[in-house]
C-alpha cells in the first residue's frame, strides 16, 4: 500500500503551532447547545493533488437531514502535514468554503477530532474557536486516549479516556463495523455531540453530515 512520505517537521514550526494551540485551547467552552438545532452542517477536506486542498460544507435540515446546500472551495496547501496539527493545514480552506454558505448552521459536525487530541485542540475545536460556533468531531480513527471496545450492536458506546479525563466517546454506528470517535469541539458538550451523532446516523458508518461532505468532495473533485 502506498504511503506518502512526510519529512520530519521543523522544530521551530512545531513550537509555534503548539503555542497557538495552547492559546486557542483557553477559548474552548464545553457547554450544551442553547437550543435544539434546525440546521446542521458537515465538513470535510480532501487533497486532489499534493499541492491542492478541496474543502466541502454541506448544510442539512435537522432532524430530517434533508440537504439544503452544498459548497466547496479549492485552494493551495500552505503548510506541510505535521501530526497533531492537521487543523492548520485544513482550517483556512474550510473557512473559505464556510463563507460560501447562504444560510449558517446551528452546529457543525467536523470529519475529525474535537478535544480528543493530545492538546485538546483537534480540528473541530480549532474550527469552533475560529468561527465561535458550536462544533463537534466525528473521527474514523483514534488519535489519543484509551477505550474498551463497545458492544458490536449499533448505538453501543464506551468512554474515551486520557489520563482519567473523558475526552470523547467511542460509538458503534452500525452493527459489527468499526466504531467512530465522537468528541465535542467548542460550545458543545459530550452528551450533545454523541446524541447528535446518533440522531444523524442513517445506516452507514458515518453520520449523514460528514458522510455527505465526503461524498460531495468526491463529486466536486471530478469537476476540477
In a domain? residue 128:
yes
In a domain? residue 34:
no
Residues 6+ apart with CB under 8 A from 19: none
In a domain? residue 137:
yes
Range of the domain at 151: 11-24+39-223
In a domain? residue 218:
yes
In a domain? residue 153:
yes
Q: State how many domains the chain has.
A: 1
Residues 136-165 have pLDDT tens digits of 999 999 999 999 999 999 999 999 999 999
Give me the CATH number covering residue 146.
Answer: 3.30.2170.10
Residues 6+ apart with CB under 8 A from 148: 158
**Average pLDDT of the chain to the nearest whole number:** 95
In a domain? residue 3:
no
- DSSP single-letter state for residue 70: E
Residues 71-126 have pLDDT tens digits of 999 999 998 888 899 999 999 999 999 999 999 999 999 999 999 999 999 999 99
Binding site members for Mg(2+): 44, 111
Using the predicted structure, report yes or no on whether residue 2 has a pLDDT greater than 60: no
pTM higher than 0.75, yes or no? Answer: yes
In a domain? residue 86:
yes
- DSSP single-letter state for residue 146: B
Binding site members: 44, 111
In a domain? residue 55:
yes
Amino acid at each position: 500500500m502506498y504511503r506518502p512520505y512526510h519529512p520530519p517537521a521543523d522544530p521551530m514550526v512545531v513550537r509555534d503551532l503548539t503555542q497557538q494551540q495552547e492559546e486557542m485551547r483557553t477559548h474552548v467552552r464545553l457547554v450544551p447547545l442553547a437550543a435544539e438545532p434546525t440546521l446542521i452542517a458537515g465538513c470535510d477536506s480532501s487533497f486532489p493533488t499534493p499541492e491542492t486542498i478541496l474543502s466541502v460544507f454541506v448544510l442539512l435540515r435537522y432532524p430530517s437531514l434533508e440537504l439544503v446546500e452544498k459548497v466547496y472551495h479549492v485552494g493551495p496547501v500552505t503548510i506541510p502535514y505535521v501530526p497533531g496539527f492537521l487543523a492548520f493545514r485544513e482550517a483556512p480552506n474550510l473557512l473559505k468554503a464556510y463563507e460560501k454558505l447562504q444560510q449558517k448552521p446551528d452546529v457543525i459536525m467536523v470529519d475529525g477530532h474535537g478535544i480528543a487530541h493530545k492538546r485538546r485542540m483537534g480540528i473541530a475545536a480549532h474550527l469552533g474557536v475560529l468561527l465561535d460556533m458550536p462544533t463537534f468531531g466525528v473521527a474514523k480513527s483514534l488519535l489519543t486516549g484509551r477505550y474498551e471496545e463497545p458492544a458490536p450492536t449499533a448505538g453501543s458506546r464506551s468512554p474515551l479516556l486520557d489520563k482519567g479525563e473523558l475526552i470523547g466517546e467511542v460509538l458503534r454506528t452500525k452493527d459489527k463495523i468499526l466504531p467512530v470517535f465522537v468528541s465535542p469541539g467548542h460550545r458543545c458538550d459530550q452528551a450533545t455531540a454523541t446524541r447528535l451523532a446518533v440522531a444523524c446516523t442513517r445506516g452507514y458508518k458515518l453520520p449523514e453530515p460528514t458522510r455527505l461532505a465526503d461524498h460531495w468532495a468526491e463529486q466536486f473533485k471530478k469537476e476540477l
